[in-house]
Amino acid sequence: MKKLLTILVDCPDQKGLIYKITSVLYQNELNIIKNREYVDLDTNRFFMRTEVEGLIDEAELAAELKEALPDQSWISVVSDRKKKLVLLVTKENHCLGDLLVRNHFGEWNADVKAVIGNYEVLRNFTERFDIPYHCVSAEGLSREEHEQKMIQTIDQYAPDCIVLAKYMRILTPDFVKHYEGKVINIHHSFLPAFIGAQPYKQAYDRGVKIIGATAHFVNHHLDEGPIICQNVIPVDHSQNASDMARAGKDVEKMVLAQALKLVLEDKVLLSGNKTVVF
């Protein structure tokens, strides 16, 4: 039976790459449905994302492509199996609400396996959707102890992707490393403006006329991981910091949902501290 596969390539740029890759696809009678390429001239790396249809084993195709491509190429052939998601929350509900509704109605080729919070606040809401909720309180625990318990709870679900849906705790480098490239965060500002705490207070104090939100992969530098999506909304002098925060919620949940959709569809590649979004 025909399969839909997504091929991701990140390799040193050189002449003839598309020819070499499509030559492998042609020999295997794969039909190209979508294809995007990009060359980062700063790093001289070539990026490609190709959706193909045909009869072939993922591992075999990956091996053939590896053969055809230069050394130090990274190749991934992804089948269309359902991905597993875990959502991390604290007390704010707007991103969680939006994601659970989308999940409930099967908007993605993915399933939310669990919601994990450091408070009980969002348990009732989560359980209305028949999704398990785990409360891992940080009370009385060191950051490391708490993260150990979080990791144990998360790992039982073997998630493909972890979404920080307004999870308001700072992560240690060890936690980040454990889930490298798998953690998406929504930051309630138009990064890199207003890094850190209380961005809406900062925005109000600065008298800005536009506020925004940024979805990004999490890395070891707080609020500085590769940006996936950003969006903004206009504000004016009549809105105080808490009005801005309220208005910001809608753009936050929209940007997070856009970023998650792109990630779940394997459309986001990493290029250093930037993303290539196909």
CB-CB contact of 216 with 190 (8 Å): no
CB neighbour burial string for 54-71, b if at least 16 within 10 angstroms, e if fewer = eebeeeebbebbbebbee
Closest contact distance (angstroms) between CB of 105 and its own copies is 5
Number of residues near its own copies (by CB under 8 A): 64
Looking at residues 51 to 80 of the shown chain, list those that interact with its own copies (rule: CB under 8 A): none
The correct pick among 2, 82, 209, 221 for binding its own copies (CB under 8 A) is: 209
Tell me the C-alpha distance between 134 and 115, whole Å: 6
Closest contact distance (angstroms) between CB of 16 and its own copies is 4
> Could you say whether residue 163 binds its own copies (CB under 8 A)?
no
> Could you say whether residue 213 binds its own copies (CB under 8 A)?
no
In the annotation, is 223 catalytic? yes
Tell me the C-alpha distance between 132 and 151, whole Å: 16
> Could you say whether residue 201 binds its own copies (CB under 8 A)?
no
- Can you tell me whether residue 92 is helix, strand or coil? coil
> Could you say whether residue 43 binds its own copies (CB under 8 A)?
no
What angle, 0 to 180 degrees and rounded to 10, lies between the N-to-C axes of helices 199-206 and 241-264? 120
Q: Residue 224, CB half-sphere, CA atoms under 13 Å: how many? A: 5
Q: What are the backbone dihedrals phi and psi of residue 208, each rounded to the nearest 5 degrees, phi first?
A: -70, 160
Nearest to its own copies of 148, 271 (CB atom) = 271
Binding site for its own copies (CB under 8 A): 15-19, 22-23, 25-26, 29, 31-42, 93-94, 97-98, 101-102, 104-105, 125, 128-129, 190-194, 206-210, 212, 226-232, 236-238, 240, 250, 254, 257, 271, 273-277
